[in-house]
Structure formats: structure tokens, C-alpha cells
Structure 1
Amino acid sequence: MDETPVVLVTGGAGYIGSHAVLALQDAGFPVVVFDNLSTGIRSAVPDGVPLIEGDIADTEHVAEVIRGFQVGAIMHFAGSIVVSESVEKPLKYYRNNTQNSLGLIETCVRLGVKHFIFSSTAAVYGEPEAYPIDEESPTRPINPYGQSKLMTEHMLRDASAAHGLNTGILRYFNVAGADPAGRAGQNTPAATHLIKVAVQAALGLRPAISVFGTDYDTPDGTCIRDYIHVSDLADAHVLALRHLVGKGGNLLVNCAYGRGFSVREVLKAVEKVIGRPLPVDDAPRRAGDPPALVAKADRIHGLLGWKPAHGSLEEMVETALAWERRSAEESKARRAS
């Protein structure tokens, strides 16, 4: 049994994918990145890691890479992730997230790739009737983003039952922060992640931060989310891969800390770290946003032995701020040269 298969990371030049590549490298797994660079950037891929530029819709190109590098496992991050955009452009999300995933799964089955880890989302739960949300909670997505991911989960379960594909489904809650060593961060220019937007506003890179919806049925009227540091999430992917390779069986886990923070609480944490008020505007609700998403995270601890190392909200803010500050300085230096 190959304990360290070659891992093909789709979307490995993006935010979460690039952190997973670092975690895989640190754990001794050989890695290949496949990315069309539509939102990811080339510099996010570490030196020495092959970057194949291509689209996963091109299944023959994917097959060539799997054969050429003798890939034994897939970590699938490639896809579209903006909830509000999915409401406006649902067919884009079914194409990028569902149809393209189907082609990738078919290619893995055809070529004998044994292990498949899928980047799913808490959006599959929709508006839960009870909290905290465990993995057996009903899945009733309220937006095409969540629906497109849930459809891929179903395809993976069926492919596993029919073809023996080992599957790990990781349902992320809100991902934040950056690599504490400064090796990676969130590079997407139009990112909608709250902590990234807040630290950009703190640095003057945005004129203000908008609070989308102040009339939710929550203690302060703003949405509540369960945040997870991106490096802890990346470590969870490595543990999930080891679980599959070690014949631990298929896996479905929430990736979160099991506690929620409101939008206003997050903004207060940013203000505490920077030592001054943020420019904040109240705005109408965004389409497709549930009032609260807070996880029960017992399963990931019990099955994988996962022990978060970066669990404080302040550390998420501090690492995101350090990354944005460094990125802004590098951008300024490039313009001056």
C-alpha cells in the first residue's frame, strides 16, 4: 500500500488550495497543482511544485496529468464560491461545481485513482432548524452554490458505492486567516470573505466595509458564522487523506471550531487588533445568506484526531492583516519599479 500517493490538487493556486499544498508538502506528500488561474495566482504555488495550467472541464488534459504523474489521490478545490453570484448566475455554478466535478470523478474512476477529497461547504445545510449543526442535520440548500456542492457529494457517494472510490467530504464553515509563516494568503481581488474585507478596509485598501443585513433574528441583528483558520483547515485535509490511505473508510466531517461570531463581533475583533475604528456602512441583506451557521465539530476530532492550532479569532485577524499588509507593500514596490 502506498502511504504517500502523489496528490493532484485542483484549484491549488487559490486560497484554500494553496494552503493545502503547503500542508501536504510539510507532511511529505508529493504534490501536483492543476489550476486555470481564473482566480488563483501562479505565485501561490510553492517552488518545486509542478503547476499545470488547465481547466478541469478538459477531462483529457486532466487524464494526461494523472497518468504522467501517476496520481493516486485528488484534492478537489476548483470551483466557484460566491453565494450571491450563485443566485444571479446559477447555471455557472452548476457547470463549474457540479458538471466539472462529474467529469473529474469519472476520470478518476476510469484511471483507477483511489482517493478523492472534496471541498464542500456548510451551505449544504441551508437554514438549519437546530444548532449546532452536525453532519446528520438535514441538507436543504437555499442557494445554487450550496445545491451545486451537495449534488457533487451525492455523486461521490454513488461513485464510492459502485466503483470503490474512497471519498472524504469536508464541509467548511467560514474560512479565514493566512499561513502564519507568511507563505500564503488570500489573493482573490474581489473576495467577499468578511475578515479579508475588514482588514483591507483597515489598511485603506477599501473605502469601507458593508454589513449586509442588520435585521436578522440574532442577538445583534447580524449574521453569525463559525470561523476556521485556513491553516487548521489545510491540516484537516492531510489528516483526511491519511485516513483514506490507511483504509479508515469514507469520511464526511464538518470543518469548524463549534462556536459562532456575529459580523459585528468580527469587526470589533479587527478594531481591537488594529487599535482604531473601522469605516463601516450598513447595507441590505445579500441574497442567499442564512442568519446563522454554527457547527458541531465532534466528528472531525474523534475520527481524525484533529487538534486546531490557530483557533482564536484574533489570530485569524492578525495573520490575515499581516498577509494583506505584505501584499500591499509588494504591490506598491512593483508599481514603483
Structure 2
Amino acid sequence: MAAKIYITGSGGIVGRHTLNALAELAPGAEVIRNRVDLTNLAETTAALAEAGPLDLVIHLAAMVPVADVNANPAKAYAVNVGGTINLLSALAGSSARMLLCSSSHVYASRGTPIPETAETKPVSVYGQSKLMAEQAAQEICAASGRSLCIGRVFSIHDPDQTGSYLRPSLEKRFAEADPDAEFELYGADGLRDFLPASAAARYLARLALSDAEGVVNVASGKPMTVADFARSLAPFPLKIKPMGQSNNLVADVSRLHDILGEGNA
């Protein structure tokens, strides 16, 4: 089991849950939280040098909210791709294993569960930035012989989410909605693979602490329509009016279960 772990993005929702999971799964490990801007190579290099020899790096830091990414795509690429490259540059000479947190948004919509071998075809700036981060990490780690596992996380949700994520967006609308009126919902019939952020974080921690390499889908494997997800959160019965185009992103989690064994997050 890893004795010294460096984690980025620990202040985010997945990061906080990952810290809790590590405290339980690797109680004897020393966990060092990144405190520097990964887009600054000099700061990142200094922070990794100060950390000393590492056994494992869990890289969760990313620019995720759709509104923020679309408003500033240059920053999204700088954070998601450049930050990953800087982190790996700062790790030069270290043999530390890496767990890179990626996203289901690297895939195209598909009517059947998506395996890790499916075509990658991002339709968003965020998805493209995460795919580029994956590709850079794969090539850099292969060249240096570093063990790399990429966890592609599907649709997570958490009570503490804010901003443009689906759950807080829905909850804000519920608070302002007329319970007797139609509730317009874009992509209502689309299938998603919803998983609490705490469960996703536990999967990521378990993958990081394993010797698994390559891409692994991190999800429940249980399809649910966006409409049913909204109904599960609503404080009143919804009269949903589907709007726009629907698409599907549901994971084939066979590899996840093969690696970690049949069981719970």
C-alpha cells in the first residue's frame, strides 16, 4: 500500500470525498495536498521537490463547470491539459504511480453501455480538454515507465454541488417553480449513469491504491433518464415537458468490477 500520496484538487467535492476514502482505505499513508497553481511550472516543480519521494499521485484538479469552460476555453486547456503536463514534468525522476481523473465526456453518445475501448469523440471543450490530458499523460508516462491509471468518471452528483452542474441547477429551479406548471427539461429522455460523488471518489481511491493500469470507467452501470433523476430530487411531482435533443452516456463497468471485485463502492 502506498505510503506517501500527493493529491491535487483535494478542495473540490470529489477531492474531499477522496481524502475521506484514503483515510479509511490507507490509514497509515501520508497524504500531501497540493497547494500551488498547476499552470505554473516553477511553483509545481518546487512543491513536488518539497514533498520529497512519492509513491502515488492522485490528480483530480480540473476546470469542470460547463459555463466556466465555455466562457474561457483557453483557461480550461491551460488547467486541464497544461496542469497535467506540468505535474508530470515536475515528477521527472520520480517513480510515483499516477491516477488521473478523467471524464465520460471524452465519449460520444451511444445507445448501449460504453466500454473503455469505445471511440473517443468529445462534443464539448471540456471533453476535448480531458481527452488531451489523457493522451499527454499516456505518452509521458509510457516514455518514463510510470504506472498510470485513468478513471473516466460519469455523471456524479452531490448535495454540496453549486453552479452549473445538473443537480444544483435542478434544485434551484425547484425552489422557484410552480408545482402545477409544466417543468421544461432539456435532454429529459437521455440516459445517464448517475453516481453519488462519494461513491465515485471511493472507486477512484481504490483504483489508485491498486495496481490497475489503463482506462477504467468509474460509474454505477445503471442507466437512468435525466427526467427520472429530476423526479428523484424534486420536492413535488413533476409534469416534465421534454425539450431539445437527448443523448446517452451509460458506462460498461465490467472492467471496474473485474479490477476491484464485485462489490460496493
TM-score (norm: length of structure 2): 0.86
The amino acid of 1:295's aligned partner reads: A
Q: Per-residue deviation at 1:8? A: 1.5
Q: Per-residue deviation at 1:9? A: 1.3
Distance 1:104 1:13 in 2: 17
Question: How many pairs are equivalent?
Answer: 258
Distance 1:290 1:64 in 2: 46
User: Contact 1:118–1:169 at 8 Å: present in 2 too?
Assistant: yes
The amino acid of 1:260's aligned partner reads: P
2:186 is matched with which residue? 213
CA 1:226–1:4: 2 relative to 1, 3 Å:
same
Q: Are residues 1:31 and 2:4 paired?
A: no
Distance 2:184 2:72 in 1: 23
The amino acid of 1:81's aligned partner reads: V
1:267 is matched with which residue? 230
Question: Among the aligned pairs, what percent are the same residue?
Answer: 24
1:254 is matched with which residue? 217
CA RMSD of aligned residues (A): 2.6
Distance 1:14 1:226 in 2: 21
Q: For residues 159-216 of structure 1, what are the alpha-carbon distances to aligned partners after superposition, in whole Å with 9 as ceiling and x for unaligned? A: 22210111110001101235xxxxxx43x4x2x22233334555x4xx24975525xx
1:11 is matched with which residue? 9
The amino acid of 1:8's aligned partner reads: Y
Q: Are residues 1:227 and 2:194 paired?
A: yes
CA 1:306–1:156: 2 relative to 1, 3 Å:
farther
Q: Are residues 1:195 and 2:167 paired?
A: yes
1:112 is matched with which residue? 94
Distance 1:208 1:104 in 2: 45
Q: Are residues 1:140 and 2:103 paired?
A: no
Distance 1:131 1:24 in 2: 33
User: Contact 2:150–2:215 at 8 Å: present in 1 too?
Assistant: yes
Distance 1:98 1:283 in 2: 35
Q: Per-residue deviation at 1:236? A: 1.2
Q: Per-residue deviation at 1:262? A: 1.6
The amino acid of 1:138's aligned partner reads: E
Q: Per-residue deviation at 1:156? A: 1.6
Distance 2:2 2:81 in 1: 28
Q: Per-residue deviation at 1:126? A: 2.4
CA 1:211–1:20: 2 relative to 1, 3 Å:
farther
In structure 1, stretches of 5+ residues that fail to align are: 35-51, 179-184, 215-220, 310-337
Q: For residues 38-90 of structure 1, what are the alpha-carbon distances to aligned partners after superposition, in whole Å with 9 as ceiling and x for unaligned? A: xxxxxxxxxxxxxx3x2111223223332323333211111111235434432
CA 1:83–1:223: 2 relative to 1, 3 Å:
farther
In structure 2, stretches of 5+ residues that fail to align are: none
Moved >6 Å (runs of 4+): 280-284
2:39 is matched with which residue? 57
TM-score (norm: length of structure 1): 0.69
